[in-house]
């Protein structure tokens, strides 16, 4: 291919037409899946458009503008207290700075996330904030943003990339502190119910869990780590059945989120298992539900609103030339262990 794209140059249908030696009208029809365009030609048009980083003209009024004063936010699900808090934090900062916020959810599916990314790119967002879907294994679908120099910030569930900034809590430290707390209350056989270990949040908490066991000379067994799709209740029910069927039941369980921890406590109580007397339980996120369940749930406060504020402020400061986020690889926010009755034996 002789055509060399300048990443900062606006690619048009005329560039694609010139490269393929066809008319701009044919390119336009091909990009819009018009039946008059042959399948083979259509494939060539779509592939070249992708290779060159072509953005469809979603907002014609912004065609000649370099900025749209719009930022995008892609998150796994809106239906969670943590992500709702993130949205509130992002929206506050964006509104104060005069930016419009576009929000989409991946519903934990990699394909949906890729479609969302394409929509955001074609909508010409000035920058993008992303918390990765449960299923995502790579960030190839965000490459057009990186190629074109559109700032990309990952938060919570992140992917390390030299051109992207990540905003997280210290999940390793949080996992370690939870486990140390359970051990301090007398736990000797611990189980960790976690999510997809390809996601940093779950992998790092497991590392903290392992270190605490090692330091207290408690043997680690992979059988005591139940990695499930933490967002599917049927998977959680299978994990609970596994725990109830263990020859020697655990006396401390660390669960990846509060909703799952509450479901676990209800299941244990149904089986006449006392919490914390027989089994201590700790969740994660400090959702409102943690203070409704009886006993109240020990958890880790995850600063969603602050994470949203920090992510949006860093992105907008970069766009406004106040700072360069590319030089900042990772921003770590504080989290706190909140001890309540579900894990307290030694009062």
149: left (phi over 0), alpha (psi -120 to 50) or beta: left
Neighbour tally for 24: CB within 10 Å: 14
pLDDT of residue 5: 44
The CA distance from 288 to 308, in Å, is: 18
Q: Residue 257 carries which DSSP code?
A: S
| Residue 1: predicted pLDDT | 41
pLDDT per residue rounded down to tens, the chain (347 residues)? 444 444 556 788 888 989 999 988 888 888 888 888 888 999 998 899 888 888 765 444 344 446 789 999 999 999 888 999 999 999 999 999 999 999 999 999 999 999 999 999 999 999 999 999 988 989 999 999 999 999 999 999 999 888 889 999 999 999 999 999 999 999 999 999 999 998 999 999 999 999 999 999 999 999 999 999 988 889 999 999 999 999 999 999 999 999 999 999 999 999 999 999 999 999 999 999 999 999 999 999 999 999 999 999 999 998 888 777 766 789 999 999 999 999 998 65
pTM of the model: 0.79
**Virtual CA dihedral for 186, 192, 198, 200, nearest 10 degrees?**
-40
Q: How much is the pLDDT for 57?
A: 58
- Which residue carries 């039946």 as its tokens? 35
**Cis amide prior to 89 (ω within 30 degrees):** no
E strands within 3-75?
Answer: 70-75
Q: Please tell me the distance from the alpha carbon of residue 231 to that of residue 252, in angstroms, as a whole number.
A: 21
Instruction: Give the largest Cα separation in the chain, rounded.
Output: 79
DSSP symbols for 227-252: E--TT-HHHHHHHHHHHHT-SS--SE
> 132: closest CA among 108, 150, 168?
108
Distance CA 181, CA 193 (A): 16
Q: Give which of 85, 147, 139, 148 is closest to 117, Cα–Cα.
A: 139
Q: What is the pLDDT of residue 37?
A: 86
């Amino acid at each position: 291919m002789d055509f060399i794209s300048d990443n900062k140059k606006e690619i048009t249908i005329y560039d694609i037409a010139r490269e393929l030696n066809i008319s701009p009208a044919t390119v336009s029809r091909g990009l819009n899946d018009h039946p008059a365009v042959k399948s083979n030609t259509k494939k060539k048009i779509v592939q070249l458009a992708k290779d060159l980083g072509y953005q469809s003209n979603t907002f014609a009024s912004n065609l000649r503008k370099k900025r749209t004063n719009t930022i995008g936010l892609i998150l796994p699900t809106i239906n969670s207290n943590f992500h709702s808090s993130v949205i509130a934090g992002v929206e506050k900062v964006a509104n104060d700075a005069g930016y419009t916020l576009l929000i989409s959810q991946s519903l934990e599916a990699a394909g949906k996330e890729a479609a969302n990314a394409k929509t955001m790119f074609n909508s010409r967002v000035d920058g993008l904030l992303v918390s990765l879907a449960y299923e995502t294994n790579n960030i190839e679908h965000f490459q057009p943003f990186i190629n074109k120099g559109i700032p990309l910030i990952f938060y919570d569930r992140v992917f390390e990339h030299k051109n992207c900034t990540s905003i997280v809590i210290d999940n390793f430290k949080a996992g370690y502190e939870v486990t140390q707390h359970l051990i301090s209350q007398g736990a000797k056989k611990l189980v960790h119910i976690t999510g997809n270990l390809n996601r940093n949040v779950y992998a790092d908490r497991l590392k903290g869990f392992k270190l605490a066991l090692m330091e207290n000379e408690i043997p680690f067994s992979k059988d005591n780590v139940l990695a499930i799709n933490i967002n599917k209740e049927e998977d959680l029910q299978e994990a609970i059945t596994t725990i109830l069927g263990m020859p020697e039941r655990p006396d401390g369980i660390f669960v990846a989120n509060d909703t799952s921890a509450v479901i676990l406590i209800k299941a244990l109580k149904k089986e006449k298992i006392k919490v914390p007397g027989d089994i201590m339980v700790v969740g994660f996120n400090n959702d409102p539900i943690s203070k409704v369940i009886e006993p109240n749930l020990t958890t880790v406060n995850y600063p969603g609103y602050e994470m949203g504020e920090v992510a949006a402020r860093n992105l907008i400061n970069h766009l406004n030339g106040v700072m360069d986020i590319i030089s900042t690889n990772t921003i770590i926010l504080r989290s706190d262990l909140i001890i309540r009755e579900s894990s307290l034996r030694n009062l």
